[in-house]
Structure 1
Amino acid sequence: MSTSATAATGRSTEEDPSPPGRVGPLGRLGAWTAGHVKHVLVGWLVIVAVLGAFAPQVTSVLSGAGWQSNGSESVKVRELAEKHFGGAGSSAIQVVVTSKSHQLGDPSVRRVIAEVTEEMKSDDRISEVVPPQPGTSISRDGRTGLVLGAAASGTDDMVRAAEHLKEPLRRLSTADVTVRATGSSAMWSDFNTANLKAMIHAEILSWPVTLVVLVVAFGSLIAAGLPLLLTMAGLAASVGSLVLISHVTPISIWAMDFALMFALALGIDYALFLVIRFRAALGHSRDPRRAVEETMDTAGKAVLLSGLTVLVSLSAVMLVPAPAVRTMAVGIMLSVLFVLAATLTLLPAVLAKLGPNVNKWALPRTRADRTQSPRFGAWGERLWRQPLRFGALALAVLIALAVPVLGLKTAMPSIKVVPANDSSRQGYTLVQESFGKGAPGMLQVAVPDTSVTATLTALKSTDGIASVLPAQRAADGSGWNLIQAMPSVDPSDLSLTRTVSTVRTELPADALVGGAAVENLDLKQALDDKAPLVIGVILVLGFLLLLVALQAPLVAAVGVLTNLLATAAAFGVARMIFQDGRLSGLLGFEPQGFLDGWGPVFFFAMIFAIAMDYTVFLLSSAKEHHERTGDPKQAVVGALAHSGRVVFAAAAVMVAVFFTFALADPLPPKEMGIVLGVAVLLDAFLIRLLLLPVLLRLTGRAAWWSPAWLRRALPSIRFSHD
């Protein structure tokens, strides 16, 4: 029993804190792990050893593509090109060969083209190498040509092929001839490589800050190491699982990065909550096993609920028909599952083994046995006395930051997100200079024989189409034709969306429009279409989980709505920075005029998951104090005194981790770090530690009221241990 409960009830601290008949399932699980420490440790060693053995393969087996909308018209065009046109679809590798002073027919240039051809033929993922063709892939001045490596494999393998070929091809350049691999597959290869390096670098930079905050938060070196134990166990198991799953279905390389991020963040959160509660339990129960039992019967429930809310939030992302987005969610969910499992089994066993030694090597003047924070308790008293003053200020700041979200624009990233010295971006520039601004975003139109003439006529008369190449008839007799049309604008120009929409409207009904640029547009449209459904599912499921846990509809609704407000404010800040370009000079990036298209869905799910984490910790503590005292004031003040320090410390670590990504050169990890960092900052400090307690103060007893029929329908869940 916590000191707050003792003060409220007048019961002695020597009283048995856990009568046998009142221990719940998690308390019994804690008691079992405490009594079978060796079995638990050996079990986890086996899990980590078996799954961790596959982890070193992660960078080689995980895929780099999957940025597409499954079932879209553009994907159908690519599949038709792979089946009937020898793989000459959007995933084919393009190699730009350009000479400063000679035309392609010059022997020195022909020799380089021959070397390029041989290099590409050596890769069995390329079905056919097509040399530069007059009128289609040779520039008007005759000095630049495109060598096409047709796809013999799926998009993931073609990205790997581009990764393998781009540097050998670059080395074929001479003083006069420049060789660069470009196209969709090369771009995704460069994009993923640059972002992977940036994210790993940012994570390395975040570790020293994380360790310092952990030591300060836990107050002892031994306790500070426990989150790292959970992180390493959860990460090794989740990354190994991703490798195994990749043999069944392609998994994006980004899944590993997000798995690492969430394993660290949640490992810290959960360890903080349980260790602080365990220390308090040790203060009135000298038996570590009984202390673990009490810890799991109270804080363990909050951790389990938090993990479930994170999983529910991220599971909604699976509604988006984009493999890359889905597998990123899978990576996070796996890390959450393993960290949660380790928190509920491995951590209690280690705590039981350590006992009072959990406070060993404590910092000077540290009260490791203190269950409540006097400072956060005093803050709770102040909020209770002056709720409108502080609540109005927090609400005004959040609304002011959220208003800009109404003008938020999204689009798929431009070539600018690829580093300037990478092969695909340099090749992209060469293609534009030699063939036209829209050449890197050629439209591919698949059309049956009967509609070729009508399609060519419609394309040539469409505004926004600069040129149309002759139809290429499939050699396999399938009756399909492939027509390429060059837009008049850069592929990242927002007007291309209107051009593609017009083309699809004007062409015959049996004509299909695709190409790499159109695949991006279709993916963005799918993300936009699914965003309301994903957000709605997350909000509804989040409310239901809080309702089941807290047994009170009003407080559950308040928890969800405040999460939504913090998320809106974070996106409002994202709009001002990344769309409007404010602070772009300080942060070192060139604004695109929009937020990357996956942001609303994926970032919303991540932000909401983290926000629910803090919501559960604070409200479960408030419910525990309300169950013991029946006093709304004790619920608010006690929750802040009991959990405020946990929320503050966990948020400090997360903000430090996320903001290190702002130092990354590529734009996507910079976006992610700033958006998530701002979200955590706003949610933890303006919502959980200010606005939410104020709302509990203003609603009073009504916050915890529940109709009788609802109480009968819901399972009985208590957070107090008495």
Structure 2
Amino acid sequence: MNRLTRLVISRPKAVVAAWILLLLLTAPFALQLNGVLKAGGFSDPNGEAARAQSTLTRAFHEAPNTLLVVLHDPSRPVAGQVAAARAAIPKPGVAGVADYRTHPTWLSKDGHTTFVQVGYSSSNTTVQNLVPRLRSNVAAKVGPGVQVEVTGAPALDYALNMRSAQDGIRAELIAFPVLIIVLLFVFRSVAAMAVPLVLAGVTLAITQGAGYFFATTTDLSVLFTNIVSLIGLAVSVDYSLFIIKRFREELDQGHSVPHALQRTMQTVGHSVLFSALAVIVALSALFIPRAMSFTSMALGGVSVTVVALAMSMTLLPAVLSLLGTRINWGTLPRRSATTNNSSPASTTGAARVLKRPAALLVALVAAFAACAFPITALTLQVPVASAGILPASDSTRVGIERIKQDIGLNGLFPVQIVLTASATDQAALLQAVQKVTNYARSNPEASSVQSVTTVGVPAAALPQALSSGGAGLPTGATTAIGQLWTPSGNNLVAQVVVTSRADPDTPASHHLVKDLRSQLSSLTGNQVTAQVAGATAVGLAFDDLVLRSIPLVVGAVALATFLLLLLAFRSALLPLLALAFNTMVVAASLGLLALISQNGEHVINSVTPPMLFAVMFGLSMDYMVIMIARMRECHREGATHTDAVLGGLARTAGMVNGAAVIMVAVFASFSSAQISIVRELGISLAVAVILDALVIRRFVMPAALLLIGPRAWGRPADPVQPRPDPVPDQKETVSAFAD
């Protein structure tokens, strides 16, 4: 650290020029980032549902991407507009078109709503880009009286891309003015306020430019940009706050600019380094699930933290070296302050509250437990079979909800049981199809079941009909057999299509899929492989992936945090306390989120809990390191254990509060997001930071330390000589690494 700081101080202009060059090189790619990101990512790519879908696509040549053009006319029947709508569909990439004339149930009972299904052989990205053109073409053809919406998975992906970009811009437009006010209040200097904001903007731009190159080598979700903004604004501004505040304090004590910078980087700089490492390690645990959504958020959070750390260690010291005392330019008038030379232990308001630490600790732990209690009724579910993740006014959501309300979604999102056997085992496969069909029919949640045993061919004639591909049968039976039974290489593939009575994202449909999966092995035998596909199965597979990954994510984050704190504080008790405190915060935040989510139904996105856990465990290390380090320093300077705890608390409370306000401002700005998962993360992180900074660090942690006593500081180190502090109202914060 000392060598790097000396290098930066000796060549500050070169360092600034290098970062400006890097910004100029990456900015053009940052502008192209949204064009290479993908929507979705809420599936287990290695799960049973994904493998089953691949089998269906390969065997039955199903169109990999489908759009639904919804037509609704509130004043008259809409069937007469279907032909015009079909004629307006752009032809390139179209694999097939179907409407109510071949599927009568696709026309509403009153005749005012129907839809046209368009299958595409093109890639998902290509089909996404067709959505606005398809909507405008059809709308122009059918006339102004017909409401036209385009929905389906590619349309949902397109909407997510657009909304994600809008969410990031909106959140930044909200956050930056708030940050200006907060930083002006904290620093009371225009220059000191401006530097963190400029660095934050550069951090986001460079990370987004790097994201373009990441997206060319791996699939990245649109959530990448949201997480870059969410994490990047918080850490870059906070790290700048810690360093600039300490630098100004050193200048106030009469030190030269080079000496003030070296002292700042030796102390607070090490704290920032440790805090950033904690964030990086915690977010890296999100790579464990190996799903695109988690990988994208992990990569976004890690990369923006790395960039923020690199800038804090190089660009920020270089800028401060060039500015020198001009960092105080534009200083605002200060409120009159009185000097108080009494000990912090006697002046802090927390001292009065902490007179009975045991009672306070019990009361606060009970309060956190009460906040966390709604978790017991929490349901984790990813909305892969609905547009509920989008705002109610979005065209894609309006279209799918129009179908749901007027026609019903059941036939659009069936449960598909895929049965595969060797081409020589036709009899075994047919027997398995019959057993699965009979069992599915017996399930009260199934409204209809289709298989080759239900197409009307007599059982005795069915084997021959299957061998001949339905030759000699009525056209309808031949078509049905082709859709439900086919040779594929050296295998035969059959499917049993089960339509649920409930919508695909409801608990009833989930129970149906779980029940079918649990019985397949006993129904099919060893010669037949059975898998379940369909939107509901994909959602369940992702939810199962999250549930399996949570213990691994929690274990990895907890172990890494424990080892980092053990290294920093040389105490086993402090890392254990950190784990307990963070667990309390995350549990309470999830409990409160459950209370306000989904109209009180306690349903939240599966991604939210592990993401909240990883982010909070990383970010809360800022407060832990700064406060414990200052308390520990007071103790080494000769203060009693009680005075060290309360004194360190008094000296760091202002800085922690300022940092917390910054994080809350950033996270709260994302509560306006149109995408529900981003909104959930913004709300839960804002609540978590408030609980962590104002309750855990101000009361729970000091109370626990007072009860534990001096053994909390671990192995004793050589005492340091107390140093006079000439600025009573601006106490320094010394990192544990300064030992």
TM-score, normalization by structure 1: 0.85
C-alpha change, 1:614 and 1:474, in structure 2 (3 Å) is farther
Equivalent residue, structure 1, for 2:736: 719
Equivalent residue, structure 2, for 1:412: 382
The 8 Å contact of residues 383 and 693 in structure 1, kept in 2 or not, is answered as no
Equivalent residue, structure 2, for 1:584: none
CA separation in 1, counterparts of 2:604 and 2:152? 23
Deviation, 1:262, is: 1.3
TM-score, normalization by structure 2: 0.83
The 8 Å contact of residues 175 and 665 in structure 2, kept in 1 or not, is answered as yes
| 1:556 and 2:575 correspond | yes
C-alpha change, 1:403 and 1:139, in structure 2 (3 Å) is closer
CA separation in 1, counterparts of 2:300 and 2:129? 20
Aligned residues: 669
The 8 Å contact of residues 160 and 222 in structure 2, kept in 1 or not, is answered as no
C-alpha change, 1:232 and 1:154, in structure 2 (3 Å) is same
Aligned AA (1:567) = V
Map residues 257-406 of structure 1 onto 2, 5 A cutoff. Answer: 257-365=226-334, 378-379=348-349, 381-382=351-352, 385-388=355-358, 390-406=360-376
1:468 to 439, 449, 456: 449
Higher mean C-alpha displacement, 276-285 vs 26-35? 276-285
C-alpha change, 1:74 and 1:372, in structure 2 (3 Å) is farther
Q: Deviations over 1:377-428 (max 9, x none)?
A: 6245446645345444433432321233233222223533333343332332
Deviation, 1:486, is: 1.7
Deviation, 1:669, is: 3.5
2:626 to 597, 617, 620: 617
Aligned partner of residue 92 in structure 1, secondary structure = strand
| 1:441 and 2:417 correspond | no
Q: Which runs of 5+ in 2 are unaligned?
A: 451-479, 718-733
Equivalent residue, structure 2, for 1:499: 512
The 8 Å contact of residues 428 and 440 in structure 1, kept in 2 or not, is answered as no
Q: Deviations over 1:50-69 (max 9, x none)?
A: 12221111221211122211
1:132 to 94, 99, 108: 99
CA separation in 2, counterparts of 1:354 and 1:382? 42
CA separation in 1, counterparts of 2:268 and 2:340? 12
Aligned partner of residue 415 in structure 1, secondary structure = coil
Equivalent residue, structure 2, for 1:247: 216
Aligned AA (1:67) = F
2:195 to 226, 236, 254: 226
Equivalent residue, structure 2, for 1:34: 9
The 8 Å contact of residues 166 and 186 in structure 1, kept in 2 or not, is answered as no
1:207 to 176, 181, 192: 176
C-alpha change, 1:437 and 1:115, in structure 2 (3 Å) is closer
Q: Deviations over 1:277-327 (max 9, x none)?
A: 112222345321111111111111110110011111111111113211210
Equivalent residue, structure 1, for 2:722: none
2:21 to 19, 26, 46: 46
Equivalent residue, structure 2, for 1:605: 614
CA separation in 1, counterparts of 2:288 and 2:409? 36
CA separation in 2, counterparts of 1:613 and 1:40? 26
C-alpha change, 1:643 and 1:468, in structure 2 (3 Å) is same
Q: Deviations over 1:475-520 (max 9, x none)?
A: 7744334453321101121121110012223443523211223211
Higher mean C-alpha displacement, 185-194 vs 347-356? 185-194
Q: Deviations over 1:565-614 (max 9, x none)?
A: 111111111122216x4xxxxxxxxx554122212111221222222232
2:557 to 497, 519, 538: 538
Aligned partner of residue 436 in structure 1, secondary structure = coil
Aligned partner of residue 313 in structure 2, secondary structure = helix
| 1:490 and 2:503 correspond | yes
Aligned partner of residue 736 in structure 2, secondary structure = coil
CA separation in 2, counterparts of 1:662 and 1:529? 28
C-alpha change, 1:175 and 1:37, in structure 2 (3 Å) is closer
Deviation, 1:257, is: 1.3
The 8 Å contact of residues 608 and 677 in structure 2, kept in 1 or not, is answered as no
Aligned AA (2:417) = V
Aligned AA (2:88) = E
Deviation, 1:627, is: 4.0
Equivalent residue, structure 2, for 1:74: 49
1:678 to 681, 687, 709: 687
Aligned partner of residue 54 in structure 1, secondary structure = helix
Aligned partner of residue 88 in structure 2, secondary structure = helix
Higher mean C-alpha displacement, 92-101 vs 235-244? 92-101
Equivalent residue, structure 1, for 2:586: 567
CA separation in 1, counterparts of 2:105 and 2:341? 74
CA separation in 2, counterparts of 1:441 and 1:317? 30
Higher mean C-alpha displacement, 649-658 vs 475-484? 475-484
Equivalent residue, structure 1, for 2:34: 59
Higher mean C-alpha displacement, 55-64 vs 198-207? 198-207
The 8 Å contact of residues 319 and 534 in structure 1, kept in 2 or not, is answered as yes
The 8 Å contact of residues 88 and 137 in structure 2, kept in 1 or not, is answered as no
| 1:426 and 2:389 correspond | no
Deviation, 1:662, is: 3.4
> Identity across aligned pairs (percent)?
28
Q: Deviations over 1:204-235 (max 9, x none)?
A: 12322221011101121111112113212211
C-alpha change, 1:133 and 1:447, in structure 2 (3 Å) is farther
Higher mean C-alpha displacement, 398-407 vs 429-438? 429-438
CA separation in 1, counterparts of 2:449 and 2:437? 8
The 8 Å contact of residues 86 and 150 in structure 1, kept in 2 or not, is answered as no
Q: Deviations over 1:323-363 (max 9, x none)?
A: 11210121111111100110011111111222222122112
Deviation, 1:699, is: 1.7
**Cα RMSD for the two superposed structures:** 3.2
Equivalent residue, structure 2, for 1:92: 66
Aligned partner of residue 95 in structure 1, secondary structure = strand
Q: Deviations over 1:538-561 (max 9, x none)?
A: 112111111111111111211221
CA separation in 1, counterparts of 2:202 and 2:659? 19
CA separation in 1, counterparts of 2:674 and 2:187? 34
Aligned partner of residue 106 in structure 2, secondary structure = coil
The 8 Å contact of residues 270 and 737 in structure 2, kept in 1 or not, is answered as no
Aligned partner of residue 486 in structure 1, secondary structure = strand
Map residues 588-603 of structure 1 onto 2, 5 A cutoff. Answer: 591-603=600-612
